[in-house]
Structure 1
């Protein structure tokens, strides 16, 4: 395991998401209640900045095309808010992919991310 310090606990509030860049890669860290979650910051649909999206419980909504993912395990809830032919074409061109998530560890008041 390769844990990196990402934030102090007091840098996040319940229901908040923040982006942290490590080695050129963007990670999104979210706090829901007493739990912390980590994922890629870029939406696998069209690369939207998830930390600028909306967090509703464990569901993050991308600000670009409103794709939704469960931040606990990254599974797709909604690939896009498009409908009809536009939705069908989007699934053919770029099939739904889960959001990559990462393990976190608390070390005192420090949130650590496992990048291995």
Structure 2
């Protein structure tokens, strides 16, 4: 589910019976990460294959550009985790702390 809270685009995901919220932009290239593949709590960016854990945003695998000859250095961003947000269930509401 994609939502905008306080001007921040986030995704809300249910995985393994829990809810997780994260910024809806891949830290590698800014792409729409909600289009990615979800496997448990691992979210894979659909554009360059970077993988992130939705529990804490840690990088599981960063894009490997070593086999690609790129003419632009903007493709080689430093490794950054996915920004995640705490989620709390209160009654029938899902609360996300931004």
Q: Same fold (TM over 0.5)?
A: yes
Structure 2 residue 39 is the aligned partner of structure 1 residue 68:
no
Question: How many residues are matched?
Answer: 97
More helix by share: 1
Q: TM-score, normalised by structure 1?
A: 0.73
Query: 1:73-92 counterparts in 2 under 5 A?
Result: 73-84=56-67, 86=69
CA RMSD, Structure 1 to Structure 2 (Å): 2.2
Q: What's the CA shift string for 1:26-85, capped at 9, x where partnerless?
A: 011110122001111100000111111110011000111111100000001111154436
Q: Name which of 28, 35, 48 aligns with 2:11.
A: 28
Spell out structure 1 runs of 4+ moving beyond 6 A: 89-92
Quote the Cα distance in structure 2 between the aligned partners of 1:83 and 1:73. Answer: 27
**Alpha carbons of 1:84 and 1:21: their partners in 2 closer, same or farther (altered >3 Å)?**
same
Q: TM-score, normalised by structure 2?
A: 0.86
Q: Which runs of 5+ in 2 are unaligned?
A: none
**Alpha carbons of 1:56 and 1:86: their partners in 2 closer, same or farther (altered >3 Å)?**
farther
**Greater relative contact order (CA < 8 Å, ≥ 6 in sequence):** 1
Q: Which runs of 5+ in 1 are unaligned?
A: 1-17
CA positional deviation for 1:107: 1.1
